[in-house]
Amino acid sequence: MEPARIRSDTDSGKEETAIGSQVPSATAAQLQHPHHVQSTGDNKTKKPTENDGIINGAVAMQRWQILAKALNGKKTNALNLSPVSTRRFTSLGLLKHQPALDGIPIEADVTWHEYICNSGSKEIIINIRLLPKEVSFDSIFGFNNTGNVCIWPSEEVLAYYCLKHRSMFSGKRICELGGGMTCLAGICVAASSSATYVEITDGNENSIKNVRHIVKNNQKRNIFGDTEVYARSLRWNNDLDSFKCPEKFDYILCADCLFFEEARLDLIDTINYLLKPGGEALVFAPTRKNSFNEFLHLASSVFLCSVAERYDDDVWNRHLELQCHNSNIYNKDLHYPVMMLLQKPDDSSNHQIDTLPN
């Protein structure tokens, strides 16, 4: 596949403030960071002050209140992270969906949405289970929780792109990494294409439990046809040899996973381990400061890399619309998913790298 080369861009450098930050880490994940919740060494946490050099004081105080509630065993709504949340942008509105009514188990807290997807000759309805937007003790102190907050725009775009290009998955083995609570892209590939095998993964146990509900519901409705679908927990830093897969993958899918600096090399190793020689990883993520380029730089020592900003006219037009009419909540650097293709070479020569402008 030959994506268009990246073109120069003059409007990607908007400054992100702590208040305006809408990166996944602005919610529960930031509370995990030692700079945000400082241990005093006696199992108590130190309340951030107005002088906190890392995050804005008002936001720090709000996070402290959420943490205090969670420590008391109370659940609290992540959307209360205002002013971050009131400016929150989570969807480009590319996929049609609505609350699901039929054939859905009634459960407290969770909601099901039906995604109406075009699979060529017919429309298919994929049921997707969404976890409540709560911050609990577990979500603050457990494994990275960013995939349980919402379906991030990069996952939405990855799913949309895969649906449009579903024929490329015919007869192939696909694995999604870090798919979050829905692994929407992997599920869309399994439902819309003639892939032989789709493995959807995340390192967060709650995400994977939720994905198993989604797989079961859609399997019962025979949405996946002959495609085998499995949901498994996979942490990129774990011993990959214990991740049993009889055959390597033709495609890896990955959305919005480049932000975690400490995990970048592990993610690259994992992609390299799982791909067949000649296989490709489709990675979507916002540029988000320099995180996209930092990952690209590391990846270029292992893969043949290319980057595309205008990979789809509909997505690009939607982006222009948002930039024009919703600039109060939409920030290209934080929200527009750029596409990165990583190809595992058959031999290790001939690497190429295209970088985004700073």
Ligand X SMILES: C[S@@+](CC[C@H](N)C(=O)[O-])C[C@H]1O[C@@H](n2cnc3c(N)ncnc32)[C@H](O)[C@@H]1O
Nearest-angstrom CA–CA distance, 44 and 239: 33
Using the rule CB under 6 A, is 214 a contact of ligand X?
no
Beta-sheet strands, E only, within the chain: 38-39, 45-46, 76-77, 96-99, 111-118, 123-130, 134-135, 173-177, 197-202, 228-233, 249-255, 275-285, 304-308, 338-343
286 binds ligand X (CB under 6 A): no
One residue of 211, 263, 308, 334 binding ligand X per CB under 6 A: 263
Under rule CB under 6 A, residue 235 binds ligand X:
yes
Contacts with ligand X by CB under 6 A: the residue count is: 24
By CB under 6 A, tell whether 152 contacts ligand X: yes
Contact between 260 and ligand X by CB under 6 A: the answer reads: yes
Residue from 209, 88, 47, 90 nearest 138 by CA: 209
- In sequence order, which residues have a C-beta less than 8 Å from that of residue 317 and are 6 or more positions away? none
Nearest alpha-carbon partner for 163 in 123, 135, 220, 204: 123
- Those residues whose C-beta lies under 8 Å from the C-beta of residue 195, and which sit 6 or more positions away, are 169, 170, 171, 172, 173, 174, 189, 227
- Binding test (CB under 6 A) with ligand X, winner from 22, 127, 192, 207: 207
**53: exposed, middle or buried (C-beta count within 10 Å: 0-12, 13-18, 19+)?**
exposed
Site membership for ligand X, residue 309 (CB under 6 A): no
Min dist. Cβ of residue 65 to ligand X (A)? 24
176-205 residues in contact with ligand X (CB under 6 A) are 178-180, 202-204
Among 26, 95, 128, 151, binds ligand X (CB under 6 A): 151
**Residue with the shortest CB distance to ligand X:** 147
Residues 13-52 that bind ligand X (CB under 6 A): 24
Q: Write down the least CB distance from residue 226 to ligand X, Å.
A: 26
Residues found near ligand X in the complex (CB under 6 A): 24, 144, 146-147, 151-152, 154-155, 178-180, 202-204, 207, 235-237, 255-257, 260, 263, 266
